[in-house]
Amino acid sequence: MSAAAAVPIRERAGKTFDVERIREDFPILRMKVHGHPLVYLDNAATSQKPQTVIDALVRYYEGENANIHRGVHYLSQIATEEFEKARETVRAFVNAAQASEIVFARGTTEAINLVAQTYGRAHVGAGDEVLITAMEHHSNIVPWQLLCEEKGAKLRVAPINDEGELLVEEFEKLLGPKTKVAAVAHVSNALGTINPLQKMIAMAHRRGVPVVVDGAQAVPHLAVDVQGLDADFYAFSGHKMYGPTGIGVLYGKQALLEAMPPYQGGGDMISSVTFEKTTYNKVPHKFEAGTPDMAGVAGLKAAIEYMNGVGIGKIAAHEHDLLEYATGVVGQLPGVKLIGTAREKASVLSFVVEDVHPHDIGTILDQEGIAVRTGHHCAQPVMERFGIPATVRASFAVYNTKSEIDALARGIRKVHEVFA
């Protein structure tokens, strides 16, 4: 596999990377909030959109809109062509073998639910086990809990250490004869930890266990190669990678997708319907019931083209510089404790400040125009693991700058003054 599939790229952002030039691509960054320039550090929740993505949405509605796969008329054919071209763009982006392995979904959450409700329901039975990790987002916990409840199966959880790294040997020990599926985050949204995914997948495969990867926080920051990783399923959301909301992707190996029962029933997923029997369309259409988000797909294609234009290596290198800088600057402030200090991290700085609730910090930072996320980040078990109710999370994207991190540090000093 390419090394890029498992580790963040360590190339330097370099001279050709001009963050001020990049910032011009994102109209929202010109905004002022409470009289201050917007400092947007909530990218792990959702990233901002470049003009090219916004234009792609408008272009779709102005010049392409028609329902796909069904019409013989001009617009329907154009819309269908563009939709399938976008599938090919996504295929190349994650290096899937075939475009038919790319299923469009609403986002990571729907993609994981799809696998749990199809592959999971077909393969997990009473007494079986589903293995996850202690750093999962609720989207990669609850769908498996629902499945386990329905089937009388057991959810097993591989633990993490105080740095927020997975105990890989424990993960391996938990892969037993009863394990029917493993579902793991590529990158933790609450801690920033990058998991040694290639190694974990190889461990699972040695025991015949397929692996579902939650790639929501990886795809915006790392070059992902699903074939190199040998992932069985890989889910991600468009809106965290400069694309529109409401569109995401499930990658699945062709043979697995073909063998799976459908998820939802409706238009487009069928081959023929009678009252006695319905036969299903071929993959990926079998999993795309109803009218899809065609505009969203056009926007996702534009987002991938934007990322490719900048270069995923340059994005990763710039964000790595920002994370190192922020770890130094914020980590040294009095009373600040970083939560998540793994050796391999991507773009997330989670922290608490002694004697101040994260929500108060978020509110004071907001008054300075700084947007961070405070709370449990849909990862309550992670908070429990660290014995805290919440953290402040600053998360970085291609358009963030070191001076924004300095503004964050000034904001935290202000928090100290208010609570002194």
**Interaction between residue 411 and ligand PLP (CB under 6 A):** no
Phi/psi for 40 (5° steps) reads: -95, 105
Piece of the chain touching ligand PLP by CB under 6 A; list 34-42, 132-140, 253-261, 291-299: 132-140
Candidates 214, 225, 288, 319; binder of ligand PLP (CB under 6 A) is 214
Nearer to ligand PLP, 80 or 237 (CB): 237
Piece of the chain touching ligand PLP by CB under 6 A; list 135-143, 145-153, 319-327, 337-345: 135-143
Candidates 147, 185, 213, 342; binder of ligand PLP (CB under 6 A) is 185
Reduced to 3 states (helix: H, G, I; strand: E, B; else coil), residue 234 is strand
**Interaction between residue 89 and ligand PLP (CB under 6 A):** no
- What residues have CB less than 8 Å from 309, skipping those under 6 apart? none
Instruction: Give 33-39 contacts, CB < 8 A, sequence gap 24+.
Output: 33/366, 33/369, 33/371, 34/366, 34/367, 34/368, 34/369, 35/369, 36/368, 36/369, 36/370, 37/369, 38/369, 38/371, 39/368, 39/369, 39/370, 39/371, 39/404, 39/407, 39/408
Candidates 49, 87, 91, 137; binder of ligand PLP (CB under 6 A) is 137
**Interaction between residue 217 and ligand PLP (CB under 6 A):** yes
For the chain, the farthest-separated pair of C-alpha atoms sits apart, in whole angstroms, at 73
DSSP annotation string for 271-337: EEE-SS-EEEPPTTGGG--S---HHHHHHHHHHHHHHHHH-HHHHHHHHHHHHHHHHHHHHTSTTEE
Distance CA 91, CA 99 (A): 5
Nearer to ligand PLP, 79 or 132 (CB): 132
Residue 81: CB minimum distance to ligand PLP, A = 27
Nearer to ligand PLP, 180 or 186 (CB): 186
Tell me if 181 sits within 8 A of 123, measured CB to CB.
yes
The footprint of ligand PLP on residues 105-124 (CB under 6 A) is: 107-109
Place of tokens 């934007």: 306
148 part of the active site: no
**Interaction between residue 347 and ligand PLP (CB under 6 A):** no
Candidates 48, 100, 237, 350; binder of ligand PLP (CB under 6 A) is 237
- What residues have CB less than 8 Å from 275, skipping those under 6 apart? none
Distance CA 313, CA 293 (A): 29
The catalytic position among 33, 378, 388, 409 is 378
Residue 185: CB minimum distance to ligand PLP, A = 5
Q: How many residues bind ligand PLP (CB under 6 A)?
A: 14
Tell me if 415 sits within 8 A of 361, measured CB to CB.
yes
Candidates 100, 113, 117, 139; binder of ligand PLP (CB under 6 A) is 139
**Interaction between residue 395 and ligand PLP (CB under 6 A):** no
Piece of the chain touching ligand PLP by CB under 6 A; list 137-145, 147-155, 322-330, 388-396: 137-145
Provide the binding-site residues for ligand PLP, judged by CB under 6 A: 44, 107-109, 137, 139-140, 185, 189, 214, 216-217, 237, 378
Q: Which residues are the active-site residues?
A: 378
